[in-house]
Each structure stands twice: as C-alpha cells, then as structure tokens.
Chains A and B, each alone.
Chain A
Amino acid sequence: MGVTILQQFPIENRTGPATIELLTKRISALGAVQQGHFLVDCETYSSVANLGPPRTVHVLHNSEQPASCFSILDTGTKTIPLAADGLFDLLMLKMNYFYQAKKQTKAESKGPRFEIGDFCVKLGTVTVSQNFKGILVEVEYRPCVVPGMCWELIREFMQGVLGSSVQSNPPPYLATRMQENYTPIDTIHQYLEHFTMFRKSPGMRT
C-alpha cells in the first residue's frame, strides 16, 4: 500500500469512453500493462428523525482491499473513519431502521487498472445512480508511505500522463496529512470528496 493521489480529468468535448481510450493509449505508450479492472463504490445512509441530530454514514468499498469495508460517519461537525471486515455491510442492513440508504446516490468509479514500474494507475468512469458524471484518475506509488516524501515525484509522473490538468498542490485532504503514514482509508476519503462533488454537479452526456 503506497501513497495514492486521486484527481479529476477534464473530458472537455469528448465522451466518457473516448476519454478513457485516449488515456489508455497514452499510458500504454509509456509502457504500462493492464492488470484487470477496479471498482470503488459508495452508498450513503442518513439517520432517521428520532435518532436526534441528522448524521450521514458513507459506506465505501475498494476492489484493491476486497475483504474490507470502509465507512465514514459525518456528523456535520466532524468525520470519523472506520475500516472493517466485509461483514460490516450486513450490520448496516441490521440498522436499516435507524439508517436508511439515500435514494439515487449510489456512486461508482470503475475501469481499467494499469501497472507501470512501481506505479499503479486506475482510469475510472464515475457514475452516480447509473448516470455518467466524469473521469477520475488514481495514481498510486506503491513503495512509499509518506505523502510528503513522494508528492513531487508523483506529480511529475502525473504530468507525464495527464499533462497540464495536474494541480501543483496536493489534494486538500492530503495537504494537512503530508507527514503521516498513508493508509487505505486515505484513498477512501479522497474518493468520497470527489463523489460528493459529482453528486452535486449536473449530469453529463455519455
């Protein structure tokens, strides 16, 4: 498990599949080899009225950690992350009297997964309840666990693949945690931030 940077790739006036194809071509030209597919999904539950102040639980899965289930509880004032076994989903179902899944909000990012050197690149097509929303590119540098050490290196790599769309600063979520050890839940946090933005944004043509 290494440091992962997630960023949106502008689709400009292309369609989703055309953008994925463009990026696939670019990265294959650099010598990347496709290693299967990946999927990150997110379901959001909100608390019922008689449980007091409203709270939201986001439950996410990442195919990179197939036996785990990640949850992020948002109370409005703070967020509490939780990494658990896959059976946590069943527990969530037990709680459906208190926490109910929001309609039309199931978000997903899925697509091909590439390996190139020690990097792992994932080109994700994002959908919110089956509607296409955009493209998310995930770049992981696996040998390093401290974001502060390898941010510049990852940025250089991303610029090579994605060109000028790469930000010069790390994602806001990571910026405050640059010297901490990176864990899978940090990737989940980044996905949730993007999913939340996509849910608010209007739909796009596919």
Chain B
Amino acid sequence: MWESQSAMDSLTSAVRSNIIPNQEYLLQGSILDVYVEVLLHRLRGLCDNVDSGPESFNDHELCFTLRGSNTSPQMAIPLRVRRALDVQDAPWQLRYVGQHELGGRNRPTLVRSSLDVACSNTIVEFLTELGCRIDFEYIARGYMFRKGRMKITVSKIFKMVANKPGESVEPISQSYLVELSVLAPSGQNAIAEDMRIFAEQLKPLVELEKIDYKRLIHVP
C-alpha cells in the first residue's frame, strides 16, 4: 500500500538533498537621485525583462525580532515582513535573515542565510502575539530587474511620518539603494562570480560592494 509521506518527511529529504534556496548572495550600493535615470537605462540594456519595461514595486517592510526577557542578542531571531502596497491580493512575505558572512577578499559577495516564506495577511498579528517586537518599518519604492537568476532592485527608502503606510512618507536620503542578490541553495558559490562580473558592468555609475553592517554600527 502506498503510504502518504508526511510534509515534514518530504521537507527533511529536500533539506538533505540541498535543493532549498536558503543562502542569499548580496551586493549593495547606492546612487544619487539625479543619476538614477541613467542607471535604470543601463539596467534595461543589460537585463532580461527589457521589452515589458522595468517592473515597479511599492512595498512596506516591517522588521521584527523574537527575543526573550534575558536572551543574548545572538539568540534573537530577526524576522521581516514585506507586503506589496500596489498589489493588494499578493501574499505577504515573511523572511528570516541570518548573520552575514563577509568572507575573505577572494569571496566576491556577502553571503547570509535566508528563508523566504509567502504567507497570509495575518502574519503581523501572528508575529506580534508570538512575542516578536517590531524594531522599525519603512516603505521601499523602486524597480526590479532580473538577469538569469540574479535580481537587481533599485529602490528609494521612505520613512513613514504617520503610522499608516501610504499616508505621508518622507524620503530618508537623496539617493537610491541598489541591491544585487541571488537566493540559492548553499554551496553554489559559482553564482557569486557571475554577480561580481555583472556588478563590474555597472561601474562607474554605481559601486556594488560587500557592506559590513557591523562596522557601520560601531562608528562612534
């Protein structure tokens, strides 16, 4: 008789055969507002989705952490929730982003463990009641491109003046954030090399680099 395999069993075997995309390869940079048109133009030339034009997005992101009353910061679990403000029916995105590894000089990109889970719109209440605390939230508006497996986003970050998204927002800087990322199963380091080559093509408009957040935090 055929036995129904439990969801946990099939997930475990997926983990074992290493097909779950749980590593994010990331490069970041920024560009001033006045030059962003030139960059978009450049990206349209380089990327795959040229004929339909760049895909725009308008997302609201909330960043939570799950931590107890006396847990060390290393144990705390960062969780992010993202939802599209322009596509109301789209599922919400829950994301776990782990500690990033900078790697040595010869590793071209930042690598961090990451889990992307689409979920229903009850997620914010779910996380709040789960014991997560909200750290900050923002609005990201911009464009998304893709080139093979690579994802390129050019987005402007806004902070929310009122506590409701979409009402009044205020840009936090005069520049756009540029991110080049790939979500892949662990051990696929060849993709990092592709990313380095792609980033090379965007110079000198934007320098995509491995950004070390720890260094940013400890600046006095």
Chain A positions near chain B (C-beta within 8 angstroms): 36-39, 41, 43, 47-48, 50-52, 55, 57, 61, 63, 66, 69, 71, 73, 75, 78, 80-91, 94-95, 97-99, 108, 110, 185
Chain B, interface size category, equals 20 to 34
List the 9 shortest-distance A-B pairs measured between CB atoms, nearest first: A61-B7, A50-B68, A84-B119, A39-B4, A83-B120, A37-B4, A85-B117, A82-B126, A51-B131
- B123 proximity list for chain A (CB < 8 A): 82, 84
Beyond known contacts A41-B8, A87-B116, A99-B130: 7 more, CB 8 A cutoff: A36-B4, A38-B4, A41-B6, A71-B126, A82-B122, A87-B11, A88-B117
- B175 CB → nearest A CB, Å: 33
Q: Is the interface of B mostly helix, strand, loop or mixed?
A: mixed
Q: Which chain B residue lies CB-closest to A112? A: B1
- A163 CB → nearest B CB, Å: 27
Q: List 29 A-B contacts (CB under 8 A).
A: A36-B4, A39-B6, A41-B6, A43-B8, A47-B131, A48-B68, A50-B68, A51-B131, A55-B130, A61-B8, A80-B122, A80-B129, A82-B119, A82-B126, A84-B94, A84-B120, A84-B123, A85-B116, A85-B118, A87-B11, A87-B115, A87-B117, A88-B117, A90-B22, A90-B115, A91-B115, A95-B77, A97-B71, A97-B75
- A47 proximity list for chain B (CB < 8 A): 131
Q: Which chain B residue lies CB-closest to A41? A: B6
A94 touching B96 by the CB < 8 A rule?
Answer: yes
Q: Which chain B residue lies CB-closest to A48? A: B68
- B20 proximity list for chain A (CB < 8 A): 87, 90
